[in-house]
Structure 1
């Protein structure tokens, strides 16, 4: 097995566009629907679904839980950063005094801004002026990216994914990746699939002056919904990586997103295209709670609007996916052999995967924790009690 270098294990943000990621947005907020929401037809689905009841894990650089756009939407998460190898994340007891250490321990602080932008594009509130694709979804922040927006241990990221699965995630967004495969990370992807959790990941970014790169890991794993980025004309963004593993496309350039501290920035990269697709997936899962993760993935790919070269099935269409009828969709071809995610994981953890296989056969599911946040509590209080 090859291990990726630290220099290649990073968020899906093109190096040449790092300045754009952190540059202030010009002109402030627009009163109209943001172009990226219109491009994926998200507003047309809101009468039927807003993502309520769906938890999206943002495995990233943390999330600023105090940003007004995300008020009440950010669950207590977990941080895997600043730990000695092999240590468990140092969580503080519930009821501890809030503060920087407390917030970082639960993934509710973001020194980079990447995770906050991703979370806002997914689930910023409808009344914020900058709504996310699924404004009533909730965010489970799991921090794996350090203060330089990198991760140095793929096994750690795999552990973070497994923790998210065990703690309520319905969707896992991975706006990160690298060039080399990782058996522990692949095992975590297989674990998510076994527990009916949809994994969405960005295809990666590259410099304009470099040869075309292959789709990054873990996006190239077949069980992952791999997302590349487009510009405002619907063409592939010039630095967005693509390949035969690409499933869908979404806007990935010049998007207005929240930044830590309460403001907004213009962001560019397939990281943010992945966030939009995760938001669309939350709409579908909320509208069809009886659908499996595989069925959600199937519906989103089948209803995509065909586009130009390198966009996979095309631009994700949130409204069409929400309105989809599974019975009318084309069947998905299932290969006879196991997927690379399962195969790679089985190489190093065969016994564990046999246990997962048994779990699948008996229809089991790992018990998962649900947290009550301001949004969920408000919805609960607004719902009349039986007989009321």
Structure 2
């Protein structure tokens, strides 16, 4: 807690300057995208705009050269092998100067999904489309391949652990699938143990598949499960909603950074998740002494009520920042032997004692990948 609080010493001053910049009637001021206003972010900026908070975007990489993200993207890591062969390689930013590795770096994004997500979280005002937390930093961790899929849930779990160990205060998971994964769930427990807020999308469905359940990992209890709304605050027609949903955020026709340059319109619960991750960054910036559980509770308890399928309602970042410290019950102590026992049992104990899932329990090796 102490280290996090020290990083936020100048947050209020910086946030006030940012709020003045965005509200100034000058040609240089960036217009505030509709989704930022709808999520209640501008009222929070005089108090906190994300300064001192690191948000890990575990996705397809992030284009660090996009103007919206200038100076916002930290050195990251990639778990995607650019040149698969007989020996799989784990690639990190700067691990090899050969061009074959370039597309695997965390600070490059051949798909564009991660760049859009990052800009919705922490886009800078000078780039033309500010994000929810325009002073937060992005830690890019690439797990999605050139087809925007991951094929090993344990790898994504390893990425979560790496992000936690490398300074993430918030982890955004705009991905998921139908099947549970014990190694992935253990990584989420690791994040919770280290006081990191995890946000994930509920998933997208086909229009005729109204009964689809909330995706994993969003349905894990300690993960904020976020569905998407349209401009009117109504459930987006292809967003997975219902039981297991914690809250909602704008998720249709959002303006986001395009890895190919400029901006594009994006739709999906992936991007609603990004909005809530940005809101979590604002709360962590304003209240560095709050635990991850308190941040989650503040976001859920202050959401604007809406359709019953939207969980607690639509996120209101300003209200969450202004909220009093939520009271949180002390969690039950997990024995230190739990992790070793789960490993020795091939994840069986983990599946019984630590998944903490809302939906049906199913273990699979290869889940479906990301939310669009």
So what's the TM-score if we normalise by structure 2? 0.79
Q: Secondary structure at the match of 2:249?
A: strand
1:243, CA displacement in angstroms?
Answer: 2.4
1:313, CA displacement in angstroms?
Answer: 0.6
Q: Which residue of 2 aligns with 1:90?
A: 91
Q: Is the 8 A contact 1:226 1:247 kept in 2?
A: yes
CA distance in 2 between counterparts of 1:86 and 1:163 reads 21
CA distance in 1 between counterparts of 2:55 and 2:32 reads 23
CA distance in 1 between counterparts of 2:340 and 2:218 reads 16
CA distance in 2 between counterparts of 1:289 and 1:302 reads 19
Summarize deviations over 1:6-28 as a string: whole Å, max 9, x none: xxxxxxxxxxxxxxxxxxxxxxx
CA distance in 1 between counterparts of 2:226 and 2:207 reads 19
Q: Which residue of 1 aligns with 2:196?
A: 197
Summarize deviations over 1:127-164 as a string: whole Å, max 9, x none: 22200000010101000001111110000000011011
Q: Which residue of 2 aligns with 1:311?
A: 310
Q: In 2 relative to 1, CA 208–315 (structure 1 residues): closer, same or farther, beyond 3 Å?
A: same
Q: Which residue of 2 aligns with 1:177?
A: 176
CA distance in 1 between counterparts of 2:140 and 2:58 reads 6
Q: Is the 8 A contact 2:303 2:315 kept in 1?
A: yes
1:103, CA displacement in angstroms?
Answer: 4.6
CA distance in 1 between counterparts of 2:340 and 2:274 reads 26
CA distance in 1 between counterparts of 2:85 and 2:211 reads 36
Q: Which residue of 2 aligns with 1:249?
A: 248
Q: Is the 8 A contact 1:58 1:172 kept in 2?
A: yes
Q: Which residue of 1 aligns with 2:50?
A: 51
Q: Is the 8 A contact 1:186 1:344 kept in 2?
A: no
Q: Which residue of 2 aligns with 1:70?
A: 69
Summarize deviations over 1:267-287 as a string: whole Å, max 9, x none: 000000000000000000011
Q: Which residue of 1 aligns with 2:291?
A: 292
Q: In 2 relative to 1, CA 350–159 (structure 1 residues): closer, same or farther, beyond 3 Å?
A: same
Q: In 2 relative to 1, CA 108–206 (structure 1 residues): closer, same or farther, beyond 3 Å?
A: same
1:87, CA displacement in angstroms?
Answer: 4.6
CA distance in 1 between counterparts of 2:191 and 2:183 reads 13
CA distance in 2 between counterparts of 1:245 and 1:336 reads 21
Structure 1 residue runs of 5 or longer lacking an equivalent are 1-29, 355-388
Q: In 2 relative to 1, CA 88–198 (structure 1 residues): closer, same or farther, beyond 3 Å?
A: farther
Q: Is the 8 A contact 1:123 1:132 kept in 2?
A: yes
Q: In 2 relative to 1, CA 142–336 (structure 1 residues): closer, same or farther, beyond 3 Å?
A: closer
Q: In 2 relative to 1, CA 336–31 (structure 1 residues): closer, same or farther, beyond 3 Å?
A: closer
Summarize deviations over 1:298-347 as a string: whole Å, max 9, x none: 11111111111211111111001111111xx4x45678798xxx999964
Q: Is the 8 A contact 2:75 2:93 kept in 1?
A: no
CA distance in 2 between counterparts of 1:251 and 1:345 reads 41
Q: In 2 relative to 1, CA 343–173 (structure 1 residues): closer, same or farther, beyond 3 Å?
A: farther
RMSD: 2.8
Q: In 2 relative to 1, CA 53–347 (structure 1 residues): closer, same or farther, beyond 3 Å?
A: same
1:92, CA displacement in angstroms?
Answer: 5.7
Q: Is the 8 A contact 1:305 1:313 kept in 2?
A: yes
Q: Secondary structure at the match of 2:248?
A: strand
Number of residues of Structure 1 aligned to a counterpart in Structure 2: 317
1:261, CA displacement in angstroms?
Answer: 2.8
Q: Secondary structure at the match of 1:177?
A: coil
Q: Which residue of 2 aligns with 1:161?
A: 160
Q: Secondary structure at the match of 2:282?
A: helix
CA distance in 2 between counterparts of 1:236 and 1:267 reads 16
Q: Is the 8 A contact 1:80 1:160 kept in 2?
A: yes
So what's the TM-score if we normalise by structure 1? 0.76
Structure 2 residue runs of 5 or longer lacking an equivalent are 1-28, 351-372
1:54, CA displacement in angstroms?
Answer: 0.5
Q: Is the 8 A contact 1:187 1:346 kept in 2?
A: no
Q: Secondary structure at the match of 1:229?
A: strand
